[in-house]
Structure 1
Amino acid sequence: MIFSRSDARLRARPGSRTLVAALALTFAAGVVSPPVAGAAAGAGSGASAVLPAPTGPHPVGVDTLHLVDESRADRWRPEEDREVMVSLWYPALAPSDMRAPYTTEAVSAAIIAGHGLALPGDTLTKVTTHSFAGAPGRPAPGGRPLVVLSPGAGLSRESLTTLAEDLASRGYVVAGIDHKYEATAEFPDGRVTECLLCDEASSRELGAELSRGRAADTSFVIDELTRDRPAWSRAALIDQTRIAVAGHSLGGSAALTAMATDDRIDAGVNLDGTFQTSAAEAGLDRPFLMMGAQAHAVPPGEEGHDETWPREWDHLQDWRRWLQVCNAGHMAFTDLPVLADAFEVPGLAPTPDCENPRVGELTGDRSAAVTRTYTGAFLDQHLRDVDSPLLRSPSRHYPEVEFHG
């Protein structure tokens, strides 16, 4: 399967186009419920949302980059060169005059119209970010670590904005990729490309192919940011010797694939993604974090068992952690819960699966806190040599996070 097995109820339906596909959709036993008329009741034309504030000391700047790989044909349109859109979040000296929009009007309208959501077409443009377009970068001695983010299948790079902004505020350069035709995306010439992946039937073969394709996209972006004449005007901010990849769902699988094929990558994170490829041949000799919902630990023979997590766990030969998050659905590691709470969209919360009485509902803000805190601690430890007690054992401050290994 391309989507994680961790919560079939919350996967985007076939034909879903991008970030808020699940806002008006729920799944039950793999059956899609129709869009809910009036699902956004109370979220009228003036509704807005504010992403959780970053926790680091730095203001956040953001640039957008359009990259074309003339050496590769696009898997979805072989007559076209492969191209990607990239958002680059980075520590800034000071805020600029313009706060960056969450997404463009065209992408927001395509999402809303494509799903019959009872929301104005420009709803997602009203999401307030904490990034400032074109703000001057804040250099650091020796440069700053680079983290490349890959979103889930059918999800745009915007879906990981909350995580990206937090990492940038803490001193990282973060490159979020839109994989063309695998989510709705808008290009500088005004083209809005649709999600062709979303109309494909899931299969192991397709999942492996897409994971390898995303790994190639990741390596291409690293190439463009680190070559002698880099594609980004602020590339001097980057320390080319400290690079990590992280992703959600299919993007998390691609993180492992990229590490297996690109030894420039020092560490990786899979956020609730079923692994589509394997590190079985040689194993993986660099640090890797697996963080996901409870369902990945379902025993063999029981419904929902994901054999890929225990399989790849055994192939990790360096530092490794497997963290389970109680009451988390598949989308808990993205911006989606924050947006659903803000726009009062029902039907998104996963069924509670945690028997720990100290753990309550995983709200959007709490989901963001868990994802950002543990991902940040992992990256600090392995890209900055900052030891984190949080990664040694369960924390009373985060009772919903359990150590599987």
Structure 2
Amino acid sequence: MTRIRRAAAATALLLALPLAVATAAPALAAPASATATIQASVQLELPRPTGPFGVGRQLLHLTDQDRTDPWVPSAGPRQLMVSMYYPAKPGTGGPAPYMTPEAARLLLDAKVPGNTIPAELVADTRTWSRTDALPQHGRFPLVVLSPGFTMPRTELTALAEDLSSRGYVVALIDHTYENSGTTFPDGHTTTCVMCGKFGPREDWANLDASRAKDVAFVLDQLTTRPHPAWRYARLIDHDRIGMAGHSVGGAATVPTLLSDDRVRAGVNLDGSMDYGVPATGLKGKPFLMIEHQMDGGKDASWTDAWRNLDGWKRWLTLAGAEHHSFTDIPLLAGQLGLPHPPTTTIAPERGIELTRQYVAAFFDLQLKGIPQPLLDGPTPGNPEISFHS
């Protein structure tokens, strides 16, 4: 979330799976004996969603014929893969895989130097969503999720599944050429063309703005009448749309809220806001900021944003966490036997639990109008969370 963290994320190919981005962290590598044990016995698994609904999942391949890919113009129109999660009837559909083996291999090779962990272990991570499950009846708020730079969309699967189980449709976007690997329906997998290519703050602001365009296009495809791109688009309540993201994905909520009146509320999970909140604010839209606790002071972009925000706002800090504690990554790394950054004291499961609680509370308040005392101030049940005033 700080400039150092953001820069570290840009050079993530040199770092290990749980990205210890507050410092120049050493690479992680499991000993050969540990790797052999991992290969023989481990079954990776995400935490169970906490809501009353089953979770369905469908994959969308979308092509923006009106926009040339900003990073690889020779590729032609911008193409995106989106995982759609939705409230579903329990017991319908089939198990949804976590990711493709090739995308998993690219992720492991990028994050674990000298990697010998079989890609299938990550690809076969147990999820709680079901492919092509029958949807629940009704209309539900939509939350768009955007992952961190260099990271595939799957890093936010646990959050996406939980939101859907609580009564949300979720569009989880892979931003092509900005992550370790995106697999398309024809079987080809793109790589991180842009890794290591962003330098000045203006570069990152342009990346945030590009993601806002990706989000706008996805919303166009999901809400266009009478022929939306998704089979179950009827589930979406067009008047209740929000966005959340991790790292750069969280930072991209700012240009999205400024440019797209369909998006009513935003959450930034630990992302430096290089596309800054202007002095005029975010059109009064509510905004939640959650950071991991660190040494060395606050990110100036967060301090500026906090001062300029003109609607409902909260700034929370998660003690004992690191940059990826809001995602699946530390959980999977721990299950693989990889060490955590030495400064991390919060358990990966707890990081996911708290992220789910506060993100869901925010959207329940802002998109469903349900009062949320959890957001009013510190609570004894969550001593890791502090409120900025």
TM-score (norm: length of structure 2): 0.93
Q: How does 1:255-266 map to 2 (within 5 A)?
A: 255-266=253-264
Counterpart in 2 of 1:178? Answer: 174
Alpha carbons 1:9, 1:26 under 8 Å: kept: no
d(CA) in 2 for partners of 1:43, 1:5: 34
d(CA) in 2 for partners of 1:9, 1:217: 21
Counterpart in 1 of 2:380? Answer: 396
Shift of 1:292: 1.0
Alpha carbons 1:85, 1:177 under 8 Å: kept: yes
Q: Does 1:158 align with 2:154?
A: yes
Counterpart in 2 of 1:103? Answer: 99
Counterpart in 2 of 1:209? Answer: 206
Counterpart in 2 of 1:239? Answer: 237
Q: 1:272 to 1:318 in 2, by over 3 A?
A: same
Shift of 1:351: 1.1
Aligned length: 381
Shift of 1:182: 0.4
Shift of 1:26: 5.1
Alpha carbons 1:219, 1:262 under 8 Å: kept: yes
d(CA) in 2 for partners of 1:29, 1:341: 20
Counterpart in 2 of 1:339? Answer: 332
AA partner of residue 48 (structure 1): Q
Alpha carbons 2:245, 2:252 under 8 Å: kept: yes
Q: 1:173 to 1:38 in 2, by over 3 A?
A: same
RMSD: 2.1
d(CA) in 2 for partners of 1:179, 1:264: 20
SS of equivalent residue, structure 1 residue 84: strand
AA partner of residue 197 (structure 1): M
Alpha carbons 1:71, 1:81 under 8 Å: kept: yes
SS of equivalent residue, structure 1 residue 177: strand
d(CA) in 2 for partners of 1:10, 1:258: 22
Shift of 1:36: 2.1
Given candidates 49, 68, 77, the residue that maps to 2:72 is 77
d(CA) in 1 for partners of 2:19, 2:387: 31
AA partner of residue 269 (structure 1): V
Shift of 1:378: 0.4
Shift of 1:305: 3.9
SS of equivalent residue, structure 1 residue 43: helix
d(CA) in 2 for partners of 1:27, 1:179: 21
AA partner of residue 184 (structure 2): F
Q: 1:325 to 1:258 in 2, by over 3 A?
A: same
Shift of 1:13: 6.4
Q: 1:262 to 1:24 in 2, by over 3 A?
A: closer
Alpha carbons 1:6, 1:304 under 8 Å: kept: no
Shift of 1:96: 2.6
Q: Deviations over 1:246-299 (max 9, x none)?
A: 00000001011100110111100000000011221531111100011123xx6x
Shift of 1:15: 5.7
SS of equivalent residue, structure 2 residue 173: strand
AA partner of residue 343 (structure 2): T
d(CA) in 1 for partners of 2:123, 2:299: 36
Alpha carbons 2:365, 2:371 under 8 Å: kept: yes
Runs of 4+ residues over 6 Å off in structure 1 = none
Counterpart in 1 of 2:354? Answer: 370
d(CA) in 2 for partners of 1:144, 1:11: 37
d(CA) in 2 for partners of 1:26, 1:330: 7
d(CA) in 1 for partners of 2:2, 2:253: 18
Instruction: Note the residue ranges of structure 1 that are not aligned, 5 or more in a row.
Output: 353-360
Q: Does 1:112 align with 2:108?
A: yes
TM-score (norm: length of structure 1): 0.89
Q: 1:292 to 1:28 in 2, by over 3 A?
A: closer
Counterpart in 2 of 1:48? Answer: 43
d(CA) in 1 for partners of 2:249, 2:50: 24
Q: How does 1:117-132 map to 2 (within 5 A)?
A: 117-132=115-130
Alpha carbons 1:24, 1:117 under 8 Å: kept: no
Instruction: Note the residue ranges of structure 2 that are not aligned, 5 or more in a row.
Output: none
